[in-house]
């Protein structure tokens, strides 16, 4: 695949499609489930998540294995096959319509309402449950070990960002890996978003020129998100502040991929590998294509991408 796109510096891709429920999401949720057991949270305490894709499927599998009830809040346009699978796993699937007087994702709003009533947030966003980052760090720790094994000391990491937990947990783990001497330096981060939903890129542009780069005023919901990469259509990047801080430190920037980039990345992965990733799962590669086209990254730099979700 590196040869196909002229990536002379090399291209490394971590395949997450073989994980439980077909994506990296179960990493976060296994970690949460372990914490619930350790903390002695009663098994009849409801769990709640806002998702209609890989996070919901991962949550449903883990919740069923743990014997805990799960409420999944989905939009009206949720894929019928995913909804059927969630139901078969025992999840309580709740369709959330958007109210005219509301700002933000109605599924997230309904989930947070349930949490105020006593449920436990069981999703992949650190802003709703910080412990979810812990399980996600396992991906970054594995990546560090694998890069070290391949002799990749310096590289650029392109990570697709919706809510931001994947990138945030990876950065934390890679930082730890450097401190432990596994890697000499953390890969420079490029958060990747689609042109149809890029609230993090917008926030970064504001933050980079602001006296207070972490002001809440830099992040607000993206209107009418749309993309072939449906798994990164969060209208807000919930973990945006640590990602902005990381890219400012790394002197890198977010990358906004066009729909053509996203489609081409998906084609390339299927043409040159046996990884059955979907367009969301290949969106990190789309970011590399965009960065190369825009001239912000050179072909002779080692690049790393995460192939995160299986085609359904």
Tell me: pLDDT of 184 over 90.
yes
Give pLDDT, residue 239.
Answer: 92
Give the Cβ contact number of residue 281 at 10 Å: 30
Report which of 120, 111, 110 is spatially closest to residue 66, judged by C-alpha positions.
120
Tens of pLDDT, residue by residue over 188-247, are 999 999 999 999 999 999 999 999 999 999 999 999 899 999 999 999 999 999 999 999
- Note the pTM of the prediction, 2 decimals: 0.92
DSSP conformation letters of the chain: -HHHHT-TT-EEEEE-TTSGGGBTHHHHHHHHHHHHHHTT--TTS-EEEE-SSHHHHHHHHHHHHHT--EEEEE-TT--HHHHHHHHHTT-EEEE-PPPTT--S-HHHHHHHHHHHTT-EE-SS-TTT-TTHHHHHHHHHHHHHHHHHHTT--S-EEEEE-SSSHHHHHHHHHHHHHHHTTS-SSPPEEEEEEETTB-HHHHHHHHHHTSSSTT-GGG--PPSS---S-GGG--SS-TTHHHHHHHHHHHT---EEE-HHHHHHHHHHHHHH----B-TTTTHHHHHHHHHHHHTSS-TTS-EEEEE-BB--
Average pLDDT over the chain, rounded to an integer: 96
Tens of pLDDT, residue by residue over 231-277, are 999 999 999 999 999 999 999 999 999 999 999 999 999 999 999 99
Give pLDDT, residue 244.
Answer: 98
The backbone torsions φ and ψ at residue 136, rounded to the nearest 5 degrees and listed phi first, read: -65, -25
Tens of pLDDT, residue by residue over 21-62, are 999 999 999 999 999 999 999 999 999 999 988 999 999 999
Q: How far apart are CA 202 and CA 253, in angstroms?
A: 11
Q: How far apart are CA 160 and CA 192, in angstroms?
A: 5
pLDDT band for 101, please (50, 70, 90 cuts). confident
Distances (CA, A) of 47 to 76, 79, 119: 21, 22, 5
Strand ranges of the sheet holding 92-95, from the earlier edge strand across to the other edge: 92-95, 70-74, 47-50, 120-121
- Residue pair 209/244 in contact by the 8 Å Cβ criterion: no
Tell me: pLDDT of 309 over 90.
yes
Kindly state the percentage of the chain with pLDDT values over 90.
91
- Strands 70-74 and 120-121 turn out to be unpaired
Assign residue 36 a region (left: φ > 0; alpha: ψ between -120 and 50; beta: otherwise). alpha
Residue-range domains of the chain with CATH: 2-20+133-307 (3.40.50.1100), 25-121 (3.40.50.1100)
pLDDT band for 292, please (50, 70, 90 cuts). very high
Q: How far apart are CA 182 and CA 179, in angstroms?
A: 8
Give pLDDT, residue 267.
Answer: 98
Give pLDDT, residue 27.
Answer: 95
**Token duo for residue 286:** 């789309």
Tens of pLDDT, residue by residue over 149-180, are 999 999 999 999 999 999 999 999 999 999 99
The backbone torsions φ and ψ at residue 298, rounded to the nearest 5 degrees and listed phi first, read: -95, 155
- Averaged over 87-116, what is the pLDDT? 93
Beta bridge partners of 49: 72
**Token duo for residue 247:** 């890219």
CA angle 220, 221, 224 (to 5 degrees): 150
């Amino acid at each position: 695949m590196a040869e196909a796109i002229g990536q002379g510096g090399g291209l490394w891709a971590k395949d997450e499609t073989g994980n439980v429920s077909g994506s990296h999401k179960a990493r976060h949720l296994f970690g949460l489930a372990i914490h619930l057991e350790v903390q002695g949270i009663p098994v009849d305490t409801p769990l709640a998540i806002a998702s209609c894709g890989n996070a919901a499927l991962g949550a449903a599998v883990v919740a069923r294995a743990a014997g805990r009830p799960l409420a999944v809040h989905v939009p009206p346009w949720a894929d019928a096959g995913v909804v059927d699978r969630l139901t078969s796993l025992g999840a309580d699937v709740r369709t959330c319509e958007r109210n005219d007087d509301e700002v933000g994702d109605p599924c997230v709003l309904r989930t947070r309402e349930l949490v105020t009533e006593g449920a436990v947030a069981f999703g992949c966003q650190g802003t709703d449950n910080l412990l979810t980052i812990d399980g996600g760090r396992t991906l970054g720790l594995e990546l560090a070990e694998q890069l070290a094994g391949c002799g990749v000391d310096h590289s650029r990491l392109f990570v697709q960002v919706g809510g931001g937990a994947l990138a945030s947990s990876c950065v934390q783990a890679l930082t730890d890996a450097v401190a432990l001497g596994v890697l000499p330096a953390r890969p420079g981060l490029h958060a990747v978003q689609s042109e149809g939903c890029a609230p993090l890129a917008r926030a970064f542009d504001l933050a980079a020129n602001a006296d207070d780069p972490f002001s809440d005023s830099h992040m607000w919901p993206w209107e009418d998100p749309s993309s072939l990469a449906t798994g990164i259509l969060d209208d807000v990047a919930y973990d945006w502040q640590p990602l902005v801080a990381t890219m400012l430190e790394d002197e890198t920037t977010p990358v906004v991929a066009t729909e053509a980039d996203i489609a081409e990345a998906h084609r390339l992965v299927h043409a040159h590998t046996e990884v059955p990733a979907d367009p969301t799962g290949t969106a990190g590669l789309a970011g590399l294509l965009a960065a190369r086209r825009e001239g912000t990254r050179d072909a002779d730099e080692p690049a790393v991408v995460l192939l995160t979700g299986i085609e359904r």
